[in-house]
Amino acid sequence: MELVKSNNPQKQSDITVRRIAFGHEKTMERHWFRGNPFMTHFMNSLHSVFPAGERYFIRSVKWFDKQIQDPALKERVKAFIGQEVQHGMQHEKFLASLDQMGLDGSAWAGWYEKDAYRNDEKPSHESVWFDMLEKVIGKEAQQRIGLSITAALEHYTASIAETVLKNRDLHDGMPEDMRNMFMWHAAEEIEHKSVAFDVFKDVAHGGYGERMLGFTFGSFYLLYYIGLGWGHYLMADKELNKVSLVPAVLESVPTYFKLITETLKSVLPYVKPEFHPDDSDNDLLAKEYFAEAAKYIEAKSA
Ligand SMILES: [Fe+2]
Ligand SMILES: [Fe+2]
């Protein structure tokens, strides 16, 4: 494990890059979450949007990399990228397992990456959303909004992380390796929750209006693509008995109600003009998880 620590006492932060081989891809069953296909395919969709999203987060922060003057922030950006690369690798393994089950995870994630995120290095990735944005506001402003979307989605991931670390009953019935992969990702999202935000605010000098535009765009992205992915997996699952979906949907209601209401409590402060991610008092949740999972992580460290 590589510990990257800031030397700046104003912004002391521990962002640790942990390389772990969970082995979750070998232990997955088709309906791996509580035997409930409705909830499993929601989780499949959630895990599927991470790799391309995280690649975009890294690109959008790198656009402003050279303008970062503060050495402590440079170090935090480096560690943020290190963590997101590791997350992407674990979720790619997960996609490969979905492929083996005939659920076409990689194909769906590939389509989503092209549709959602522009990548100037890959001309085939010409996202309609970002192209439209660039035509209206120009390239530089498009990149600032892109970074603002990243900051907003990073706030969403940290908020979801807070909910699932605080409410362990939400992932009762998840296989141990999947649960730890999910918790590890959640806890690291809390560790690096303010990095993209600080680059947006302190380096790109993004204002409140741009932040809200990114938040609106990011909220749409989250609902739209996770919803599409969920639909894709439900349709692609040829072993799914559609009648059995009814009790599965009913069973899922209390979990989703809690997940949504708890997450919204953490998400909504983002609209306050004075908001900063470090105001959210959730760092201890990440520390507690890493302390309790220390033996598991040590045993699985790659
Ligand atoms: Fe991540
Ligand atoms: Fe992240």
Domains and CATH numbers, the chain: 2-300 (1.10.620)
Q: Measured in angstroms, how far is the CA atom of residue 270 from the centroid of ligand 2?
A: 16
CA dihedral sign of residues 200, 268, 280, 116: negative
What spacing in Å lies between the alpha carbon of 101 and ligand 2's midpoint? 28
Angle at 84 between CA 81 and CA 90, to 5 degrees: 145
For ligand 2, the distance from its centroid to the CA atom of residue 189, given in whole angstroms, is 5
**Cα 302 to averaged position of ligand 1 atoms, centre (Å):** 18
**What are the start-end ranges of the H helices in the chain?**
24-27, 37-62, 71-100, 105-116, 128-137, 139-166, 176-191, 195-198, 208-236, 245-267, 283-292, 294-300
pLDDT value at residue 249: 96
Ligand 1 centre to CA of 188 (Å) is: 7
Ligand 1 centroid – CA 84 distance (Å) = 5
Relative to beta strand 14-17, strand 2-5 is: antiparallel
Whole-number pLDDT of residue 4: 43
Q: What pLDDT score does 125 carry?
A: 58
CA of 199 to the centre of ligand 1 (A): 17
Count of beta carbons in the 10 Å neighbourhood of residue 48:
27
How far does residue 241's CA lie from ligand 2's centre (Å)?
A: 36
| CA 282 to centroid of ligand 2, rounded, Å | 15
Rounded distance from Cα 226 to ligand 2 centre (Å): 17
Predicted local confidence at residue 15, as pLDDT: 92
pLDDT of residue 126: 60
Query: Rounded to the nearest whole angstrom, what is the distance from the C-alpha of residue 242 to the centroid of ligand 2?
Result: 35
DSSP string, 112-154: HHHHH---TT-TT---HHHHHHHHHH-HHHHHHHHHHHHHHHH
0.85 exceeded by pTM: yes
* CB-count burial class (<10 Å; 0-12, 13-18, 19+) for 51: buried
Which residue's structure tokens are 């409410």? 167
Instruction: Dump pLDDT digits (tens) for 183-216.
Output: 999 999 999 999 999 999 999 999 999 999 999 9
Ligand approaching nearest to the C-alpha of 150: 2
- For residue 83, report the distance from its CA to the centre of ligand 2, in Å: 8
CA of 238 to the centre of ligand 2 (A): 33
Q: Which residues of the chain have pLDDT under 70?
A: 1-13, 27, 122-128
Q: How remote is the CA of residue 206 from the centroid of ligand 1, in Å?
A: 22
Picking from 51, 276, 286, the residue whose alpha carbon sits closest to that of residue 162 is 286
Q: Hey, which residues does 14 pair with through a beta bridge?
A: 5
Ligand nearest to the CA of 153: 2
- Rounded to the nearest whole angstrom, what is the distance from the C-alpha of residue 158 to the centroid of ligand 2? 7
CA distance 299 to 302: 9
Least distant ligand from the CA of 156: 2
User: Which residue from 19, 8, 70, 1 is spatially nearest to 302, judged by alpha carbons?
Assistant: 19
pLDDT of residue 8: 40
Q: What is the pLDDT of residue 137?
A: 84
